[in-house]
């Protein structure tokens, strides 16, 4: 899988906000709002583009990769690089996640060489948790907001 990482632009962000996942992953669906577009354009997001210049995914780092309610539970107090990942709905569940995530992790680690990685995942997303374990992540913390239970996972 050949991919290119490009800083997010409004055309890419608009396309991503239109992505629709099947249940139970529709939890990750977004809406076309000014706030959602502004978040994707805040400078912490990259688009993952294939050879045909199609956006096949995205990732973010830092505060944007965190679930805000986790701050109440101090799950982000350690000094890690937080990463968030999204893959096009047509590509998920097809065995492409390991290579996709490996390339993103390599890019992040090249830009933050002295930091360990952390991600936050909804606990119902067993498919992603299985992948993250294969990538060397281990469970660190759990917390909930009003709707969903989450876990943080770290890769030391």
For position 55, which CATH number holds? 3.40.630.30
pLDDT of residue 124: 96
Q: pLDDT tens-digit profile of 14-54?
A: 999 999 999 999 999 999 999 999 999 999 999 999 999 99
Cα four-point dihedral sign 18, 24, 28, 30: positive
Q: What is the mean pLDDT of residues 145-155?
A: 95
Run of H or E residues at 55: strand 55-61
Residue-number span of the structural domain to which 52 is assigned = 4-155
The answer to whether residues 108 and 144 touch, using CB atoms and an 8 Å cutoff, is no
Q: What is the mean pLDDT of residues 83-100?
A: 96
Question: Distances from the Cα of 85 to the Cαs of 31, 62, 120, 121, 152, in angstroms?
Answer: 17, 12, 10, 10, 14
- pTM (two decimals): 0.94
Domain total of the chain = 1
At residue 129 the predicted structure's pLDDT band, cuts being 50, 70 and 90, is: very high
CA–CA dist 118, 88 (Å, integer)? 22
């Amino acid at each position: 899988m050949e991919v290119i990482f490009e800083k997010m632009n409004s055309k890419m962000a608009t396309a991503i906000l239109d992505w629709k996942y099947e249940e139970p992953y529709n939890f990750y669906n977004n809406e076309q709002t000014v706030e959602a577009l502004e978040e994707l354009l805040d400078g912490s997001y990259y688009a993952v583009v294939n050879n045909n210049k199609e956006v096949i995914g995205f990732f973010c780092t830092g505060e944007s990769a965190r679930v805000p309610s986790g701050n109440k539970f101090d799950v982000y107090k350690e000094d890690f690089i937080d990463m968030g990942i999204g893959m096009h709905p047509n590509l998920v569940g097809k065995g492409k996640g390991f290579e996709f995530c490996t390339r993103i992790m390599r890019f992040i680690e090249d830009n933050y060489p002295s930091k360990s990685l952390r991600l936050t995942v909804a606990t119902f997303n067993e498919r992603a948790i299985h992948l993250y374990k294969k990538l060397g992540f281990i469970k660190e913390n759990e917390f909930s907001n009003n709707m969903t239970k989450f876990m943080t996972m770290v890769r030391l």
